[in-house]
Structure 1
Amino acid sequence: MSGHPYCRRFSNEEIMRIKEMCMAGIPPRQILSSLRQSNPHLRAISRNIYNKKAKILEESLAGRTVIQALVDELGEGGFSYNIEYDQEGYLTHLFFAHPISIELSKSYPHVFLMDCTYKTNKYKMPLLDIIGVSSFNTSFYSCFVFMQKEEEKDYVWALEMFNKILGVHNQPLVIISDRELALMNAIRIVFPSACNLLCMWHIEKNILANCKPHFREEVDWVAFLSTWADLIKSPNESSFDKAWDCFENEYKENAAVLNYIKGTWLPLKEKFVSAWTDEVAHLGNRAISRAEGAHATLKKYLQVSTGGLREVKEKICLAIEHQFQEIKTQLSSEKVRVPHRLRIPFFKEVVTHVSMFALDELYKQHEAAKYGNLSSQCTCHFFKTMGIPCGHMIKDMKIQVLPLNAIHNQWRIDARLFNNDQHASLDDENDQINSLLLDFKEKYEKLPILQKDDTKRQLSQFVGTSFPLILEPKIQPHKGRPLGSKKRNESSSTRREPSKFEIVEKSRKCSVCKGVGHNKSTCPFQVAS
């Protein structure tokens, strides 16, 4: 009888459990395993779970299109969102920020990291993920933007939306990105006062991909990396100029490498060389590695790259809510936690008022000042970049108790209290709307009869305006072989494609010069000799 569909029906209780586990992002096979643990005689198979999941989705749409349902859920959930669509009605851009993310972004507006990730949705739309940094030096999701393309106008639109949720009083001080010229231009347009730093990790990997093939011996490559590291770690502009002269003189024979450095990275030196970046309060963020980590965490929730925008949004909400609970718990814990090593007068005013991460960094500087483990000259770089007094400052202060105002507001936990109210971030806007409604009512009562009728007509038209029919996005063409190629199979994996530096590292190397892209018989060094 197990072959008949009647025997594989689910009870009402099992249907409720399936709905709950689907909302939690649990895969169908694991849902089935969980149900069988409660009911060993269950005869359902994986296909029954998939069918039930599809039916639950259909019921949740309630006759609406997927995009209409998505927009309704964003509005009802208190999200800040915006959409754009083309002349044919296809969705091209979607911006949304969870109420929790807005609250965190306004609380920690100093440093943000921006980076696109891929393989998140079936439409192959790039996803711009903006990441913030909390008091505990942990990351949080600030907002998400699905874009049709990665051009300057797309980034400008996305950052303008982000700017609106931050407000004029919460402008970022530092924004970190990779060398995506369209994004860099958009940052300069939308956030002209913010300092845009470049990711050191991406720079190193670009150097590896574009310069390593031009070195025959490994020892020469290692020497080049050492010289390059000394150059970008120059503590001031004069030392950078001297280091650059030495670098240019040493590699003048290697024109390809020198031209690449001159053309690609030298014009952007203020965005990654220590002589300039150490003057900026980047709070220890010199790379977008935390953004890459956030991408990886998000893809663990997504599991596949074939979901629609509505499914992706639901998984994103799960990640944000989990992240927020972690921050709230840590905030409550550190407000009452006093480590034994900090039970000294110097930390009296800051303990339980500043995060443990900042206190650990401060303790290291205090110990260095106490035992004289300091450099001969203070550059104030640590204080400028981290917002925490360095050992030299502590030594020169000659005070018994450090005042609380000596710590950057980023690391303060005493003034922060997250209520987890999904509409809390909209309070200011609601106050403005209520104020406008009161002004409107007062002015309306003073209008002549004909103007009142005209005003009511305009107001009725505004209220009765229906939301336009918006279609799901067109599937964006991907790189590589066309869809019809037999040698390329479509995959639901969220794993990214290998970068150029990974290809360089893994490619077969020439036995003569150890370079890639050729073999012994076509080696340019072999031909020259």
Structure 2
Amino acid sequence: MDIDSNNPSLNESEEVEEPQKGMCFSSKQEVYDFYAKYAKHVGFAIAYRTQNVGDDGEVKYFGIECTRTRKRTKKSEVNSLKPSLSTKIDCKARVRASLRKDGRYMLTTVMLEHTHDLTPTDSRHFAMNKRFLTLAKRRLEINDEVGIGVAENLHSIVVEAGGYEALTFDERDARNHIESARKLRLGVGDGESLRDYFQRMQQQNSNFYYVIDFDEDCRIRNLFWADARSRATYEAFGDVVSFDTTYLTNKYDMPFAPFIGVNHHGQLILLGCGLLCNESTETFVWLFRSWLSCMSDAPPKAIITDQCKAMQNAIEIVFPKAQHRWCLWHIMKKIPEKLRGYSQYEHIKLALENAVYDSFTKAEFDKEWQAMISKFNLYDNEWLGALYGERHRWVPVYVKDIFWAGMSIAQRSESMSAFFDGYVNSKTTLKQFVELYDNALRSKVEKEKKADFKSRHKLYDCLTIYGFEKQFRATYTNAKFKEFQGELKRLIYCNPLLVKEEGSISTYHVKEFVVVDEKLKPMEFVVYYNSTECEVQCMCRLFEFRGIMCGHSLCVLIARCINEVPDKYIMPRWRKDLERGYTFVRTTYTNFGVGFNAKFHDKMQKLLNEIVELASNDEGKQKIIELGLAEIKARVRKDESGCGSNVSHSTSNVPPFDTSPKSPIGGCTTKTSMSS
């Protein structure tokens, strides 16, 4: 029986009377409270054990015993080699009370001797002494609603109380209470709660998109959603997408599947997310098609995933032209699991890491890999054999020719799992997630705004006198300019040598000392320079891979007395001086200082919705819309002076435009759908 949770804690310093035979109490509860007070003072826990109830329903006799009474029993002899914890040691301490004729209960049996040691300070850990005051409950709930984790939440209460000893509950109690509160926060039914939430979001912004997939029993099987800002963001940063389901499994065992990109600061951005019933090819196909439809059928150019075969099959079906890469972090973390059994494990691991991380050409990697296989006789290892067969999907030197928007090939940092870290965990419920979703996105938007502010108002000092450093400082965000400066520092170790000239093409060998396996290793990078096109290309492929010019290329430009780089090497993706449309999209988690832009965006979006609806099933009308929008876009771009009110209504001077069908990303060409 529980003690009233609103009662104040017992005063440890007051005298506690010892139970004696013949003591009388007015009720059963009074007997329990008396014995509980004594047990807490001495240092043991109690529980009801036996009672006798008369025909009139009144308790005639009952007993309260130490919880360590009775003998330990094993549930099964099958698992006898697997030890388990038990408190039972046949302790005899107990009291028994009988109902007297006057309606009072008298102690008829009192046994005070225990067969175990008693420690009064242990009392606060016994369940019978746990109390959760209403004030503490409410504080935990409020902190949880604003995204404060349980550990940090409880820590603030512990500090205020003066230590754990002053609390009448522990972290497990706090977690259980918060989990219970979360279940009630959005209502009773998960499906109904989610659907209601999505419908509310769409009412606030018609460009909120969601799809719910129900099974034959009308239970949620899969779901996908993307808010209006995520859809608009895809237009600017949807070229490279990272997708992962290995991080979060909620209490319903549904894999969490967010689509993540990176913005102009290299920060993670959300491009939609789903919850899936399983990880089959069929399920991934459903999710990818839902996401593609949401993004106006514009697939990403490159996508990063783990090694899931079902995922790979689905990508080949839905995104056949996208470059598909495996996350190197997922692969390298499997090394202990796959190779630990070998006697030379540490040496094999080192050789594998050197081949992967320290090879600068495909030929060098292949040579190092084959040497490792031969030296340690790993020809029969199927895992390594399969990895080598798919090396074009994960080995750094095999994927560096493709633009991956700065997403690291060797670290976990780009993983979409990191996006919701601190907001969700393995026990997050469906109903709770849609609440924390807004909190996570609100935090990400604020971080982007702060980075924008710093890039506009604060500049890093230049390290050199070269004009191209000032070029990048004036145009790139601080984060990307810092990456560029990292390449400038390499100039100290680079020495260019012109080895051949054929027409406009000059070939340089740039020697650089790099650190490999804690030793200096001289490397030679081939750099080509085209004087006609003013193009420079290095074998390290850093610009192709990250969009940042490498130190080897800069070294050659300096050798040719070139002080500024062509605009082709200043990627719009990393610029800080562009006004990107997604920043004006209204959502439930964003507030804007410039209300006019947000209102105008909303107004135009609604107008575009109406126009698209009129032409949804008519190719002729669709063509009219495409031509009209292209004309409007050309006229707006031409009016660089900003004098929109003076734009002529004549179209005779409008420059020619592409008449091929195009779908505006982040628009409303896709209607919200519900599948069952």
State the TM-score, normalizing by the size of structure 2: 0.54
Amino acid at match of 2:244: D
Q: 1:436-455: CA deviations, max 9, x gaps?
A: 45569x9xxxxxxxxxxxxx
**CA shift in 2, pair 1:9/1:172, >3 Å:** same
Partner of 1:151: 280
* Structure 1: distance between partners of 2:353 and 2:219: 48
Contact between 1:347 and 1:402, CA under 8 Å: does it hold in 2?
no
Structure number with greater CO (CA < 8 Å, separation at least 6) is 1
* Higher gyration radius (CA): 2
3-state SS in 1 of match to 2:217:
coil
Paired with 1:339 and 1:148, the residues of 2 have a C-alpha distance of: 48
Provide the identity percentage. Answer: 20
Secondary structure (helix, strand or coil) at the match of 2:196 reads helix
Q: Point out the structure with the larger helix share.
A: 1
Instruction: Determine which of 163, 188, 194 is the counterpart of 2:292.
Output: 163
1:468-508: CA deviation from partner (whole Å, max 9, x where unpaired): 998xxxxxxxxxxxxxxxxxxxxxxxxxxxxxxxxxxxxxx
The answer on 1:246 being equivalent to 2:371 is yes
Distance 1:230 1:54 in 2: 48
The separation in 2 between residues aligned to 1:182 and 1:196, in whole angstroms, is 13
CA shift for structure 1 position 256: 3.4
Q: Name the Cα RMSD after superposition.
A: 4.4
1:416: how far off?
A: 3.7
Q: Which residue of 2 aligns with 1:289?
A: 412
CA spacing shift, 1:69–1:19, aligned 2, 3 Å: farther
Counterpart of 1:260 (choices 368, 383, 399) is 383
Q: Displacement, 1:421? A: 2.0
SS state of the match for residue 468, structure 2?
helix
Q: Is residue 2:202 matched to residue 1:75?
A: yes
In structure 1, the partner of 2:355 is 230
Change (3 A) 1:419 1:3: same
CA distance in 2, matches of 1:63, 1:273: 42
- Comparing 67-76 and 122-131, the one that deviates more: 67-76
Instruction: Name the structure 2 match of 1:92.
Output: 221
Which amino acid is the alignment partner of residue 325 of structure 1? E
Q: Which runs of 5+ in 1 are unaligned?
A: 38-44, 443-466, 471-529
Closer, same or farther in 2 for the Cα pair 1:287/1:98, shift >3 Å? farther
Are residues 145 and 216 of structure 1, via their aligned partners in 2, closer, same or farther at CA, if it must alter by over 3 Å? same
State how 1:47-446 maps to structure 2 within 5 Å.
57=185, 65-78=192-205, 79-117=208-246, 120-168=249-297, 171-213=299-341, 215-217=342-344, 221-223=346-348, 225-226=350-351, 229-230=354-355, 234-251=359-376, 253-257=377-381, 259-262=382-385, 264-282=386-404, 283-287=406-410, 289-292=412-415, 295=417, 298-302=420-424, 305-341=426-462, 344=465, 345-369=467-491, 372=494, 375=511, 376-378=524-526, 379-397=539-557, 398-417=561-580, 418-422=583-587, 430-437=606-613
1-structure distance, mates of 2:218, 2:243: 29
Unaligned runs of 5+ in 2: 7-131, 161-168, 496-509, 512-523, 527-538, 589-597, 619-672
Deviation at 1:119, TM superposition (A): 5.3
Contact 2:254 2:277 in 1 (8 A): yes
Shift of 1:412: 1.7
User: Is the alpha carbon distance of 1:427 and 1:183 closer, same or farther for their aligned partners in structure 2, counting shifts above 3 Å?
Assistant: farther
Q: Per the alignment, do residues 231 and 402 of structure 1 end up closer, same or farther by CA in structure 2, a change over 3 Å counting? A: closer
Letter aligned with residue 306 of structure 2: D
Q: Which moved more, 1:198-207 or 1:180-189?
A: 198-207
1:524 is aligned to none
- How far is the alpha carbon of 1:237 from its aligned partner? 4.0
Q: Judge conservation of contact 2:471–2:564 (CA < 8 Å) in 1.
A: yes
Structure 1 residues 370 and 401: CA distance shift in structure 2, 3 A: farther
Could you tell me how far 1:120 is from its partner in structure 2?
4.7
| Separation (CA, whole Å) in 1 of partners of 2:571 and 2:190 | 52
Contact 1:236 1:274 in 2 (8 A): no
Q: Tell me by how many angstroms 1:206 deviates.
A: 2.3
Structure whose residues are more often strand by fraction: 2
